Amino acid sequence: MEGLDRNLIDGDLRPASGGATFATVNPATEEVLGDAADGTPADLDAAIGAARRAFDDGAWASDPAFRAHCLRQLRDVLQASAEELRELTIAEVGAPRFFTSIAQLDTPVADLGYAADLAESYEWTT
């Protein structure tokens, strides 16, 4: 997967502000699987600020149909990449394959659809 050595902040993939990365290692084989961005407190502040702006000023908070669309779009992308994500999870965490179908991948991804349905069916008040 591309971009794993960068943080996704405010819609942009960017390296950690300190420039550091760390290796992700298969615990069973000690094989280096790749590098991940080693975020700093400044990266955390930037991510929190971006999330706050998106919630306060964006369509996410005020448009349930947009929120549902985003959740379904994320679900669809994750489902399309499920086998690659499953293999990465098994290698990186050492999880048994069956566990990825419960708590680590399939169920949480499916729950995005439930959240989208809820966003559209809930009677919102302002």
> For residue 58, what pLDDT is reported?
82
Which H, E and C letters describe 14-51, residue by residue?
Answer: ECCCCCCEEEEECCCCCCEEEEEECCCHHHHHHHHHHH
R_g (Cα) of the chain, nearest Å: 17
pLDDT in tens, 37-46: 999 999 999 9
Q: In whole angstroms, give the CA distance from residue 16 to residue 71.
A: 26
Residue 126's pLDDT band, with cuts at 50, 70 and 90, is: low
Put simply, whether the predicted model's pTM sits higher than 0.85 gets the answer: no
Q: Quick check: 125 pLDDT over 90?
A: no
Q: Quick check: 3 pLDDT over 70?
A: no
Q: In whole angstroms, give the CA distance from residue 7 to residue 55.
A: 19
Q: In whole angstroms, give the CA distance from residue 4 to residue 86.
A: 16
Q: Quick check: 111 pLDDT over 90?
A: yes
